[in-house]
């Protein structure tokens, strides 16, 4: 069996006394699609932010393509092929739609224009 593309193990995050994530485990295989559902404040965005490096997880680890990425900065994760989308996209208004779609390719490994 191949290694998972994304592996989140025992990830926790707190904001002061508020526990946003408590020992979260998640495994995603290459090509698999996963949805996170839950009520407002349940930790969905916090988990994604810990995975992509916007927030630093306090415990546990995040592995992408076999590499531990916990201490990598967001742009370093992007160079390894990690990307995310936002619920409310904010395109560059000075670029065409096609150019907006190309922007992430500038920061990924093995990108082709």
Q: Please, which pLDDT band fits residue 24 given cuts at 50, 70 and 90?
A: very high
46 domain-assigned: yes
Q: Please, which pLDDT band fits residue 85 given cuts at 50, 70 and 90?
A: confident
Length of the chain: 113
Interatomic CA distance for residues 19 and 11, integer angstroms: 11
Average pLDDT score over residue span 51-78: 94
Q: Three-state DSSP class for 86?
A: coil
pTM for the structure as a whole: 0.78
Tell me whether residue 11 is exposed, middle or buried, using C-beta atoms within 10 angstroms of its C-beta: 0 to 12, 13 to 18, 19 or more.
Answer: buried
pLDDT of residue 110: 56
73 domain-assigned: yes
Using the predicted structure, report yes or no on whether residue 94 has a pLDDT greater than 90.
yes
The count of structural domains within the chain is 1
**53: Cα within 13 Å, side-chain hemisphere:** 18
* Residue 14 lies in domain: 6-85
Q: Which of 24, 30, 44, 35 is nearest to 1 (CA)?
A: 30
Residue 60, domain CATH: 3.40.50.300
């Amino acid at each position: 069996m191949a290694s998972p593309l994304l592996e989140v193990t025992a990830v926790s995050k707190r904001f002061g006394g508020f526990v946003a994530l408590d020992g979260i485990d998640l495994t995603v295989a290459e090509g698999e699609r996963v949805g996170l559902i839950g009520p407002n404040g349940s930790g969905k965005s916090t988990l994604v932010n810990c995975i992509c490096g916007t927030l630093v997880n306090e415990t546990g680890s995040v592995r992408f393509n076999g590499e531990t990425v916990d201490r990598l900065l967001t742009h370093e994760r992007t160079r390894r092929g990690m990307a995310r989308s936002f619920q409310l996209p904010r395109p560059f208004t000075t670029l065409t739609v096609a150019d907006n779609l190309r922007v992430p390719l500038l920061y990924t490994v093995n990108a082709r224009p």
